Amino acid sequence: MIHCEVENHMNLSLEDKVILITGVLTSLQRNLVHYYAVTQAVLPFLRQSQGCIVNIASKVAITGQGGTSGYAAAKGAVLALTEDWAAELSAFGIRVNAVVPAEVMTPQYKRSVSQFPASEEKLRSIASKVTLGQRMTEPDEIAFMVAFLLSGKSAGVNGQSLFVDGGYAHLDRRLS
């Protein structure tokens, strides 16, 4: 079973006086609650099959981004659920891991960046911070990691958060 976000983050800043707590709750609903609801619904089948769960988080859970409080909280909670479920469900032979992407070149990402003035320059600036190849992560790279985590070849991997980001989340701050 794979969990991923339904909708990308809303811009929810503590400084924004217009955004109320309902905006944060909406972001949690869109980016967190379904992980729990779906897992709870399929848990009997996972126990029977000794299946795997792969949650999709975000580097924002670790690094923050500014102006994305609800999204950051939701993705941080996804990482916490990953570890908690791994501990709880391992007794049933169920492995739980998370994939943590950073800047992935999806159609949704392209739309988001295209809203910036000088969007091509913005993309180059973001890509330049990726330490491995100065390029965006491709969706296939995320898919390959998910496929590996769902396979028997990762039978010893449980409760882990695996970053597929070319070093973006951890190394860009050390190397700049």
CATH of domain 2-175: 3.40.50.720
- State the pTM of this model: 0.85
Q: Which of 35, 71, 109, 168 is catalytic?
A: 71
Q: Is 71 a residue of the active site?
A: yes
* Domain boundaries, given as residue ranges, for the chain: 2-175
Per-residue pLDDT of the chain (176 residues; tens, 9 = 90+): 655 554 444 455 555 655 567 888 888 999 999 999 999 999 999 999 999 999 999 999 998 888 888 899 999 999 999 999 999 999 999 999 999 999 898 999 889 888 989 988 988 888 888 888 888 899 999 999 999 999 999 999 999 999 999 888 887 555 55
| Cβ within 8 Å of residue 59, ≥6 positions away | 100, 101, 102, 163, 165, 168, 169
CB 138 within 8 A of CB 144: no
